[in-house]
Amino acid sequence: MGKLSLGAVVLVFLGGLLYKNNDFISLGGVLFKYKGSAAVVKVPEGTKTIGKGAFARNETAERIELPDSVDSVRDLAFAGCSSLKRVRLSKNLTQIGKGAFMGCASLERITVPSRITNIEEFTFARCSSLESVTLPSELLAIRSNAFAGCKSLKAIAFPPKLAAIESGAFGLCGLLGTVTLGPCITTIGPAAFVPGGKLVIRAKKDSCAEKYAKKMHIKLELY
């Protein structure tokens, strides 16, 4: 058996293989904790799950890259990463947990992978520097407060299959301009959008979106 480096330890733990080095603590493909201080963080290949709060409140990471082996990001995984500007998500990601990027105040842009069908509650809430969001074509629902407090977000394109935008999803997004809401949308929750500023809702006549805009006294354009 080869000699272990001083920076790494391999242990048998609870019937599985625990890998621990100075930066990552993982077990069975689950990354439980990142303890490093690098500005650019590359999660190890073979990781399948980013555990709950694994990077939470990290203050040094500016860019994080996930390998395509990752298929799940758990709740609060990157919450409060105050310096995080960019993140490269796995193309095979099927789940992003609640509040996963909540409070990442430096995050500037995000591309949500194609296999994501729901953006969960508070996922990107209080990402106050977020300017660019690319949503996947198969997205069906944006849950409550998903983008609440994204004060720098000026525009977002919604995919045609989107059916639900829940309460407070874009609350306190004061710079948001014209948004086009398609006819597949059947649910728009209370205060999903806040009237005022430059917000304009483009909607089909007699659609759920038209009724919502009129009820909330939001500027309306029909198409």
Instruction: Tell me how far apart the alpha carbons of residues 142 and 119 are, in angstroms, rounded to a whole number.
Output: 5
How confident is the model at residue 4, as a pLDDT? 38
The pLDDT confidence band at residue 196, using thresholds 50, 70 and 90, is: confident
Do 60 and 35 form a contact (C-beta atoms < 8 A)? no
How confident is the model at residue 1, as a pLDDT? 40
Instruction: Tell me how far apart the alpha carbons of residues 79 and 99 are, in angstroms, rounded to a whole number.
Output: 7
At 153-184, the pLDDT tens digits run: 999 999 999 999 999 999 999 999 999 999 99
Do 92 and 113 form a contact (C-beta atoms < 8 A)? yes
At 44-80, the pLDDT tens digits run: 999 999 999 999 999 999 999 999 999 999 999 999 9
Return the CATH superfamily for domain 10-172.
Ribonuclease Inhibitor (3.80.10.10)
How confident is the model at residue 193, as a pLDDT? 96
